[in-house]
A and B are shown apart, each in its own frame.
Chain A
């Protein structure tokens, strides 16, 4: 991050608009998300890329990780003698126990989410709409076997649902939509998008607040999404 040229309008205010010349790497993006997670939070990191956020959660922050298969307070992936088939995360990867961990059954685990006790959930996405609709469980391809897992529960479960994704697909298609074209996982549930090129704050009004741009100008962002209304944070 230190190598980037930062143009900050109000350095003291994290909410103020800022931009850099290059897109964020996946590690830089994970660090941005980790920095935004408040100390003492209870957090669920979705399978895949969101898991990397844990690499930047400093122990002093005392963030507790939740996995929906029934555990709070798991540590990094288990290696060697640590591996125990009875101790896995939602991605079915063997993990470790941290001091203060707890185990509970599936109904309690999802009640914990649905009941609004988790502070933040970080998920991947195929598409997100400007009003916070999430599509991340199915591309709607005919003939594909449908599988949802905990995606719909996670989407609506935490106080804040953050999406971690690339702003565009490898083919260059946009993933921030006026309305999702893929089957929905949840309605109006995403509050922030953390992407390689932009950090965006969503609101039911559909007006998207742009907090950060990386390797993309405000005009380019608007150009690529003509049907979405953007405003610079702090403007």
Chain B
């Protein structure tokens, strides 16, 4: 049953120790920072986390890892210049890592959400990351058997939710959000805007069937979105529009 709650703390209150939590975001775009902070405050531990990365600097997922609340992480790119908390936990043998190519990571969650029991992917064939996995040759090409990744919970950031839980996202902040929403038993969404009116059905990206808990939390995304709407209303181009291509800029120099 869809619920709208007032705080991030309420939104994550169902997450228990040992849960598998899918966390959206690619870099800072689409990262549900306030939900992750609330998960930190909730005290839940022994978590398995699925995210593209393994936390950056001293915020969000990096802090969960620093406090050893993450027993296992499934991700594609844990090594970044500012992922020192993961580095330390990993080198101390205090976090388990399952490294998955980024496209397989997304597709494994898509499979879970779509009721697929496994799929043959060409990605990773003949590499270390396919070792021990079933390989099949189909029409002369090699594929590796990959299994679904299901979450008990998903924490994602969308831009807006309507009263039916339908979601729209903003630019590349969409990234893993729609896929994770389908792959978790309970999907928790933070949005910049909780709408009073239904979204245009043609514009819905994640239908409300995948959404369980919504909390409205204003972030920088809302500030940018308002600037963009003001510009469009005033007949100016969106601020994020390129005025020139890379080739034109290079030619100017």
Q: Do the two shown chains form a genuine complex with each other?
A: yes
Over the window 142-179 of chain B, the binary record of Cβ atoms lying under 8 Å from chain A Cβ atoms (1 yes, 0 no) is 10000000000000000000000000011111111111
Interface size class of chain A, counting residues whose CB lies under 8 Å from the partner chain: 35 or more
Task: Kindly identify, within residues 138 to 153 of chain A, every residue whose CB is under 8 Å from any CB belonging to chain B.
Answer: 138, 144-153
B245 adjacent to A98 (CB under 8 Å) = yes
Q: Is A187 an interface residue (CB 8 A)?
A: yes
Task: Kindly identify, within residues 90 to 106 of chain B, every residue whose CB is under 8 Å from any CB belonging to chain A.
Answer: 90, 97, 99-106
Over the window 101-114 of chain A, the binary record of Cβ atoms lying under 8 Å from chain B Cβ atoms (1 yes, 0 no) is 00111110111011
B242 adjacent to A76 (CB under 8 Å) = yes
B249 adjacent to A67 (CB under 8 Å) = no
Complex contacts, B123 vs chain A, CB 8 Å: 114, 152-153, 156-157
Q: Is B220 an interface residue (CB 8 A)?
A: yes
B244 adjacent to A97 (CB under 8 Å) = no
Complex contacts, A84 vs chain B, CB 8 Å: 171, 224, 239-240
Over the window 60-93 of chain B, the binary record of Cβ atoms lying under 8 Å from chain A Cβ atoms (1 yes, 0 no) is 0000000000000000111110000011001000
Given A71-B172, A150-B76, A185-B127, A113 and B240 contact (CB-CB distance below 8 Å): no
Number of A-B contacts (CB under 8 A): 193
Q: Is A200 an interface residue (CB 8 A)?
A: no
Contact of A145 among B87, B122, B205, B239 (CB under 8 A): B87
Compute how far the CA of A85 lies from the CA of B124 in the bound complex, rounded to whole angstroms: 31
Tell me, rounded to whole Å, the shortest Cβ–Cβ distance linking A64 to chain B.
Answer: 11
Contact of A110 among B102, B142, B239, B245 (CB under 8 A): B102
Compute how far the CA of A133 lies from the CA of B103 in the bound complex, rounded to whole angstroms: 19
B172 adjacent to A67 (CB under 8 Å) = yes
A75 adjacent to B175 (CB under 8 Å) = no
A87 adjacent to B176 (CB under 8 Å) = no
Q: Is A170 an interface residue (CB 8 A)?
A: no
Interface residue count on the B side (C-beta < 8 Å): 62
Compute how far the CA of A107 lies from the CA of B103 in the bound complex, rounded to whole angstroms: 7
Compute how far the CA of A145 lies from the CA of B89 in the bound complex, rounded to whole angstroms: 11
Compute how far the CA of A178 lies from the CA of B3 in the bound complex, rounded to whole angstroms: 60
Residue picked from A59, A86, A156, most chain B C-beta under 10 Å: A86
Complex contacts, B28 vs chain A, CB 8 Å: 85, 88, 92
What is the chain B residue whose CB lies nearest that of A156?
Answer: B122
Compute how far the CA of A147 lies from the CA of B79 in the bound complex, rounded to whole angstroms: 6
Q: Is A82 an interface residue (CB 8 A)?
A: yes
Complex contacts, A107 vs chain B, CB 8 Å: 106-107, 109-110, 178-179
Q: What are 5 residue pairs bridging A and B, where the CB atoms are less than 8 Å apart in the complex?
A: A86-B29, A89-B172, A97-B241, A105-B175, A105-B177
Known A-B contacts: A106-B106, A150-B101. Give 13 more (CB < 8 A).
A55-B250, A68-B103, A70-B175, A76-B249, A81-B239, A87-B171, A96-B241, A107-B106, A110-B106, A146-B78, A147-B79, A152-B104, A157-B123
4 closest Cβ pairs, A-B complex:
A75-B242, A110-B103, A153-B103, A96-B242
